[in-house]
Amino acid sequence: MPSGNQRDLYMKWCGAVKVTEENDIIQAALQEWRKGIESMLGIQVGSEANPQGLAVAFGTFQGENPLIRRVFGEETRRKVGPEGFAIRTSEDTGCIAIGAASPAGVLYGVFHLLRLIGSLKNIEGLDEVVNPVNGLRMINHWDNFDGSVERGYAGRSFFYENNQFTGELERIRDYARLMSSVGINAIAINNVNVHALETLFISKYLPEVAGIAGVFRRYGIRLFLSVNFAGPMHEGEVGTADPLDPEVRKWWQDRAAEVYAAVPDFGGFVVKADSENRPGPFTYGRDHADGANMLAEALEPFGGLVIWRCFVYNCKQDWRDRKTDRARAAYDHFKPLDGKFNDNVILQIKNGPMDFQVREPVSPLFGALERTNQVIEFQIAQEYTGQQRHVCYLVPQWKEVLDFNTYAQGEASPVKRIVDGSLWGSRHSGIAAVSNTGNDRNWTGHLLAQANLYGYGRLAWNPELTAEAIAAEWISLTFGPDPAVSGVISRILLDSWNIYESYTAPLGVGWMINPEHHYGPNVDGYEYSQWGTYHYADHKGIGVDRTVKTGTGYSAQYIGSNAERYDSVEECPDELLLFFHHVPYTHVLHSGKTVIQHIYDTHFEGAERAAELLAAWSSLKGSIREDLYIQVEERLKEQADHAKEWRDQINTYFYRKSGIGDAGQRTIY
């Protein structure tokens, strides 16, 4: 809580609020303002100005609040986008004014001002226009109707339990508040792997879906549903799911009309098709454009979107063939279809070509699709990065991906300009991510995993924010302004991705985890399995040859100097070397170390640094709330122990495989 002169400053402006509009979203903003100020300043916000005549005022430009009309002229209004806002401290009118073109913009502006106060920022002299960079800022839930959460590490679903909707609308309302506060405007509430009963979400369970949509609507969030491509067959009304069959098309058109009758602002469908045994258009000799466009035509009259996932590969291929490469799959499937998708179809592309590994290159589809709407997909849930038992702050990874230059239009073609729609002038674009929330009291299981959820929203709103700035915001809002506390937690967060990578995945290999649940080391867990081959380690060397001349040719899917750099064993970055090249263990890296020595060193150092995370956190005992301290301490103890297990299993495996000892003569079992 602010104190002294800082508190006096906030009290001067924030004791009164002027709001005239009855719109539900603006009334939600008013509630958030009152709750936030009461929590941070300990005062009840009234409607009458304080003795100095000062207040906070907010509303839409077209509303009836005279303060908004007086503070913001036409020039400012023109700069504010559909979800943006203007905020200004106006001495002339005696108010801090928040004006927007839409009620959602007003809500985002209120959360912005609360964030400034919570971060102890100066609120005098405010004068800025703030617009979100990305149009779609989406969360994908992988919640199942039975209450389980696929790749969920924070308890069970708060939407469903025992094949019923929980009806926990207060929890869902708090979740909507949480998401809106960081700028999320779209949420898909069920798993992309749609099961039989979940197919009924677009028919039998529409009243329950509509109830959740009503909660979301108040916070500027549109509800989406994942749908089963074979829905017409599962409900027993049509004997096929062929997207070109007239009966199938009509079935989806009828379902869309029913959904929009119940949820007028319904966002649309999220679809996973023809991957990992999910049904899709391939069954009928059709392509992904045929399938997506059929659904798009059903939604188009209502303004709905089809989010079509590009996570498509044949999991039944013969992975022993070294020319078979899962990394190629998305590009090979979707590049030939560029320009064939309807305007309300958006391709959702994972940040890398594989599956959310701790390190992999950026998907080459970014830059390859010039005439297709696209969003990037991240995974906030730490499926392969410690499962919210290990701290792994992912914002630096996401920043690296968004800043990656594709060279699609020369020297200034970063991924962030593709996904925000500016590079190709896309009609729809943005960012989506797999949620890391559940019904755990702290939402994310590991308290520090909240930084990923917060950071994702802030980065989706503005990709120019730094990982350091986002961490500082979250720490200040969660733990308060004590610089000693914030310094320790900031260092833990900012070091954590590198630490996790160092004791798990050497030089871009990945996948050395236990099959199915994906937690803990298992070096050969996925080698030559039905899902793929990932390191090809033998007694001579390690790595996957993805070069043009001798390998799978995957490197050629990139543009210009990226293709050349990845194809060259001399030029390839060390951190991705084994993703692109099979090399001897004695191959010398740019760092000057051999591959095998790098593996030994990073795993020893990673385990040591994981233990140092616990020691750093221990220095905060007594400085933060005891229950919060204990939550994190327990997780960091597990991480420190688990890092040793990773170290020992990985180092032992490669020592026995290569027959080359550690130059440091450390113990390898």
Reference 573, options 399, 332, 398, 404; nearest CA is 404
Identity of residue 413:
S
| Model pLDDT, residue 316 | 63
Domain residue limits, the chain: 5-130, 136-465, 503-544+582-658
**Position 555 pLDDT exceeds 70:** yes
CA distance 172 to 381: 19
CA distance 67 to 57: 7
- Grouping H, G, I as helix, E, B as strand and the rest as coil, residue 627 is helix
Across 32-43, average pLDDT: 95
Confidence at 657, pLDDT banded by 50, 70, 90: very high
Digit-coded pLDDT (tens) for 389-432: 999 999 999 999 999 999 999 889 999 999 999 999 999 999 99
- Bridge partners (DSSP) of residue 351 are none
- Rounded to a whole number of angstroms, the CA Rg of the chain reads 26
**How many other C-beta atoms lie within 10 A of the C-beta of residue 305?**
26
48 is catalytic: no
Confidence at 320, pLDDT banded by 50, 70, 90: low
Query: Looking at the domain that runs over 136-465, which CATH code has it been given?
Result: 3.20.20.80
247 is catalytic: no
Q: What percent of the chain has pLDDT over 90?
A: 91
Pick the CATH number of 5-130 from 1.10.10.60, 3.30.379.10, 3.90.79.10, 2.102.10.10: 3.30.379.10
Give DSSP secondary structure letters for 365-398: TTTT-SSS-EEEEEE-S-TTTTTTTS----HHHH
Q: What percent of the chain has pLDDT over 70?
A: 98
Alpha helices by DSSP H, 349-482: 395-403, 415-419, 450-461, 467-479
pTM for the full predicted model: 0.97
143 is catalytic: no
Q: How far apart are the first and last CA of the chain?
A: 52
The CA-atom distances, in angstroms, between 510 and each of 208, 356, 650 are 41, 10, 12
| Model pLDDT, residue 437 | 98
Confidence at 527, pLDDT banded by 50, 70, 90: confident
- Whole-number average pLDDT of the chain: 95
Identity of residue 50:
N
Reference 457, options 524, 395, 392; nearest CA is 395
Q: Is the distance from CB of 365 to CB of 334 less than 8 angstroms?
A: yes
CA distance 180 to 217: 10
Q: φ and ψ at 637, to 5 degrees?
A: -65, -45
Of the listed 48, 124, 258, 276, which one is catalytic? 276
309 half-sphere exposure, CB direction, 13 A CA radius? 30
Of the listed 300, 360, 377, 383, which one is catalytic? 383
CA distance 267 to 639: 39
Confidence at 277, pLDDT banded by 50, 70, 90: confident
Digit-coded pLDDT (tens) for 94-148: 999 999 999 999 999 999 999 999 999 999 999 999 999 999 999 999 999 999 9
CA distance 255 to 258: 5
Reference 180, options 222, 209, 143; nearest CA is 222
| Model pLDDT, residue 49 | 61
| Model pLDDT, residue 1 | 65
Query: Looking at the domain that runs over 503-544+582-658, which CATH code has it been given?
Result: 3.90.1330.10
Confidence at 51, pLDDT banded by 50, 70, 90: low
Angle among Cα 321, 324, 330 to the nearest 5 degrees reads 165
CA distance 360 to 534: 12
Using left for φ > 0, alpha for ψ between -120 and 50, and beta otherwise, residue 113 falls in alpha
**How many other C-beta atoms lie within 10 A of the C-beta of residue 178?**
17
- Bridge partners (DSSP) of residue 165 are 160
The larger pLDDT score, comparing residue 300 to residue 319, is at: 300
**Position 315 pLDDT exceeds 90:** no
CA distance 544 to 535: 6
**Position 50 pLDDT exceeds 70:** no
Of the listed 325, 355, 420, 545, which one is catalytic? 355
Using left for φ > 0, alpha for ψ between -120 and 50, and beta otherwise, residue 414 falls in beta
DSSP 8-state secondary structure symbol assigned to residue 125: T
DSSP 8-state secondary structure symbol assigned to residue 526: S
- Grouping H, G, I as helix, E, B as strand and the rest as coil, residue 202 is helix
Give DSSP secondary structure letters for 540-583: SEE-----TTTS--GGGGS-THHHHHHH-TTTS-GGGHHHH--E
**Position 669 pLDDT exceeds 90:** no
**Position 531 pLDDT exceeds 80:** no
**Position 303 pLDDT exceeds 70:** yes
- Grouping H, G, I as helix, E, B as strand and the rest as coil, residue 618 is helix
Give DSSP secondary structure letters for 77-116: HHH--TT-EEEEEETTTTEEEEEESSHHHHHHHHHHHHHH
Confidence at 317, pLDDT banded by 50, 70, 90: low
Digit-coded pLDDT (tens) for 345-387: 999 999 999 999 999 999 999 999 999 999 999 999 999 999 9
H or E stretch covering 348: strand 345-350
DSSP 8-state secondary structure symbol assigned to residue 441: T
Across 172-182, average pLDDT: 98
